[in-house]
Amino acid sequence: MSNYQQFRILKSNACSPVGRPQTGMRKPKVPLSFESWFLVGVRRMEKRGAEFTFLYPGLTRIEWPGKPSVLRTVADFEREYENEYLSKF
């Protein structure tokens, strides 16, 4: 192994608390607003293959490939935002 390869391994391991390169998004220091959190979540699920249909104001159908569709209201998203997302701050 060359000195350059050893340097790269040491550098990448030094950045990680558990000895491997960090991946994914970093946790923001200030929580996002509900609107921003909702849009980020919708975009992330769309990248994974979910399809959203906004039926009525406040009612959304989420369809995952090969799974039954799910209906969610704005109250469901707000409850998830408050109970799961904001509890991390």
The one-letter amino acid at 56? Y
Classify residue 64: in a domain, yes or no: yes
> Considering its fold, how many domains does the chain have in total?
1
State the pLDDT at residue 79.
95
**What is the H or E stretch that residue 71 is in?**
strand 70-73
* Residue 86 reports pLDDT greater than 70: yes
* Residue 89 reports pLDDT greater than 70: yes
The one-letter amino acid at 35? E
Classify residue 16: in a domain, yes or no: no
Range of the domain at 43: 32-89
Classify residue 9: in a domain, yes or no: no
Cβ–Cβ under 8 Å, residues 37 and 85: yes
Over residues 12-67, the pLDDT tens digits come to 555 555 555 556 656 657 888 999 999 999 999 999 999 999 888 889 999 999 99
Classify residue 12: in a domain, yes or no: no
Q: Domain with 57 in it: what CATH number?
A: 3.30.920
Considering only residues 74 and 1, tell me which one the structure prediction assigns the higher pLDDT.
Answer: 74
Classify residue 17: in a domain, yes or no: no
Classify residue 87: in a domain, yes or no: yes
